Amino acid sequence: VRDGLGPTRIRMPEYSPFGTVLEYLVARFPQDESRLRYKLNAREVVDADGQALTENSPLVPRSDIYLYRDPPVEPVVPFPIEIVHHDENILVIDKPHFLPTIPRGGHILQTALVRLREDLDLPQLVPAHRLDRVTAGLVLFVVEPSLRGAYQTLFQDRKVLKVYEAIAPYDPSLRFPRTVRSRIMKEKNTFEAHEVDGEPNAETFIELVEHRIVRGRYRLQPTTGRRRQLRLHMNSLGLPIIGDDLYPVASGRAVDDYTEPLQLLAATLE
């Protein structure tokens, strides 16, 4: 791990007209030719055995190579990460709104994982689960590498109780508590998830905690973990969460507009 980031793996194609690794990389990333040549000459591109490659290294079909990405210039997310619990095995944080959990897309350095690895000198730190970038609250990371599988399996097997709180409109005609079930699908290479007809694959138990005239505070307990599940289920009731920039319609808000955070909090992790 360097600067909080692990190396990127690139799989060589099974069939290729290119004779060398460099030729393939330049064809795939033409805008980065000078940096790729620099990295090869600096012995910063290696094969799966850790052997440094050169500009003349032959392309081995379906082999893996590794190199460090040049971090992009990103807008700084100007909110701190609060540490809730830290021992030799796990780290629990209160993630702020607008900070992604892990590197993804255009968010690389401005992520909870990279910040924590750097600030706490924990290069092997990994998350056991994730929160959406715009959702705040509790996230559990694993410090001890030998325990990664155990903690991640707890989340995969739904053995972790997760409770959220949300601020949304209040509708006196709706009765709570209630359970919302639907089928949620997300197509590859799309950002939004959608509810579709078919057998339900998502379930959320929703309670109204309190209300003040036109807004209510809700407690949400998902029994499944579909992407955008809580936002979709609240929206399906006609109660979109305050600050939601996707549902009921996408707002087109700039990624560095921090003026109206989504009022959704991961409040309990057990």
Query: In degrees rounded to 5, what are phi and psi of residue 253?
Result: -60, 140
Instruction: Return the pLDDT at 168.
Output: 98
- Give the residue among 150, 56, 39, 139 at the shortest CA–CA distance from 96: 139
Instruction: Return the pLDDT at 73.
Output: 84
DSSP state of 29: -
**235 Cβ neighbours under 8 A, 6+ residues apart:** 241, 244, 247, 248
- Residue 261: asked if its preceding bond is cis (omega within 30°), the reply is no
Q: Which residues of the chain have pLDDT under 50?
A: none
Q: What is the pLDDT of residues 251-263, one digit of tens each?
A: 888 888 999 999 9
Instruction: Return the pLDDT at 259.
Output: 93
Report the run of H or E that residue 33 belongs to, with start and end. Answer: helix 33-41
Instruction: Return the pLDDT at 53.
Output: 95
Instruction: Return the pLDDT at 120.
Output: 96
Q: What is the pLDDT of residues 95-114, one digit of tens each?
A: 999 999 998 877 888 999 99
Instruction: Return the pLDDT at 142.
Output: 97
Q: What is the rounded CA–CA span in Å between residue 12 and residue 8?
A: 13
Instruction: Return the pLDDT at 26.
Output: 95
